[in-house]
Amino acid sequence: MSLPFGTPPSGVSLTPFKVSIPKAKISELRTLLEVARFAPHTYENSQTDRRYGVGTDWLVTMRDLWLRSYKWNASEDRINSFPQFEAEVEGITIHFVSLFSQKKDAVPLLLLHGWPGSFLEFLPILQKFREEYTPETLPYHLIVPSLPGYAFSSGPPLDRDFGTGDIARVLDQLMKDLGFGDGYVAQGGDIGSRIARHLAVDHESCKGKSCPFLLPAESSGRSQYSLSPVNVVFMRKPEGVTDEHLNAFEIQGIERMQNFVATGSGYAIEHGTRPSTIGHVVASSPIALLAWVGEKFCEWVDDPLSPDDILESITLYWLTDTFPRAIYTYRQNYPPPPIPAANDPRWFIKKPLGFSSFPMELARLPRSWVEMTGNLVFWQQHQKGGHFAALERPDELKSDLVKFVDQIWPDVKSTS
């Protein structure tokens, strides 16, 4: 018997999915945590402000909570309370969480995570939708896939290159297979934003894009930013745009981006230039994974996340071997393209573009800059929130999604 919201559109046959991690794998994780070694004390890892990365005290405390209080079984139950399915596209198994509506005019929404995220980020928003609506009244179909290589989706092909354009093609086909070939809206943050840009520009079925973050570009020069081994240029100031009309908040956002480039982007260079090496290192120990990924869940947020939220994501990554399978998209940044695609008219989004701006985002760009990247029809500046917007501020992001869809959907449907 399917869960509420678990009935796909008429005529679509799907394979239901349920998370069930073998007990032996949970036991192995516990053993590895119990016997884990920590680095000797140094000046750098003794700092509590994370100026040099996560400190020893935080790492030891989180390890102890992982062993004593966090329960994966509770996470499994929460995940399994949502309808999940598997679908095969181009030989890749795509896992996705969904809320299907029974309304004939429901709007399909594709919600895309990034790194070091997962489908878990969107569960709070899905929870709010299912509390507010019934399957008969839900105005949307909400589809949250695990990107290829993440969580319960299979990895990209081993015999050929595979990038964000390929991910977009696979996910566009998934949406068509679900019966949404007439149109859908894509929302994405981090890498998901880059995939959403591909969908908006390259695929006719995607009718609009909503995003809280715009990411570094791939080597083709057809994405959002440029990333260099020496310096990260998240977005070159568009020609014809000056700083004279920027307010203090916008100037602070640019400074935040510059600080991130200077002191927080080393991980991306490692992912992009030596993904095999860092993949082996981080996959060798749950403590290594906790340090490498946990740092981002501490640094890239506004208000601190709960230890259980962090440990749930880290545990999912460990139990599904996500990390080494998921960092392949960073290779697209090397060598860096000569022109950031934000300045490239080939990647200007002509379809409706919405932007949710959160103050503690890594690159909090001025509206005047974002307007140069696409047909910006919706902009919302928030007072709280960071990089993991769906997890940190689900009410605000949900509200933005609803407003954006209400604004654009009648128009895009009338022109389809």
Q: Is the pLDDT reported for residue 273 higher than 70?
A: yes
Q: Quick check: bond before 116 cis, omega within 30?
A: yes
Q: Which positions are annotated as active-site residues?
A: 190, 330, 387
Query: What proportion of the chain, given as a percentage, has pLDDT over 70?
Result: 89
Q: pLDDT-derived band of residue 232, with 50, 70 and 90 as boundaries?
A: very low
Task: Determine how many CB atoms are found less than 10 A away from the CB of residue 68.
Answer: 7
Sheet with 84-89, side-by-side order of all strands:
15-16, 84-89, 92-99, 140-145, 107-112, 184-188, 206-211, 349-357, 374-381
DSSP string, 334-373: SSPPSS-GGG-GGG-EEEEEEEEE-TBSSS---HHHHTTS
Give dist(CA 378, CA 382) in Å, integer: 13
pLDDT digit string (tens) for 78-105?
999 999 999 999 999 999 999 999 999 9
Q: Quick check: bond before 359 cis, omega within 30?
A: no
Q: Is the pLDDT reported for residue 385 higher than 90?
A: yes
Q: Is the pLDDT reported for residue 359 higher than 90?
A: yes
pLDDT digit string (tens) for 202-224?
888 787 666 665 443 332 322 22
Give dist(CA 416, CA 395) in Å, integer: 30
Mean pLDDT for the chain overall = 89
What distance, in Å, lies between the first and last C-alpha atoms of the chain? Answer: 36
CA–centroid distance for 338 within its chain:
26
Residues 6+ apart with CB under 8 A from 413: 183, 207
How distant, in Å, are the alpha carbons of 77, 88, 97, 117, 147 from that of 20? Answer: 10, 20, 15, 20, 19
Residue 415 pLDDT: 53
Q: Could you give the dihedral angle defined by the CA atoms of residues 264, 265, 267 and 270, in that order, rounded to the nearest 10 degrees?
A: -150
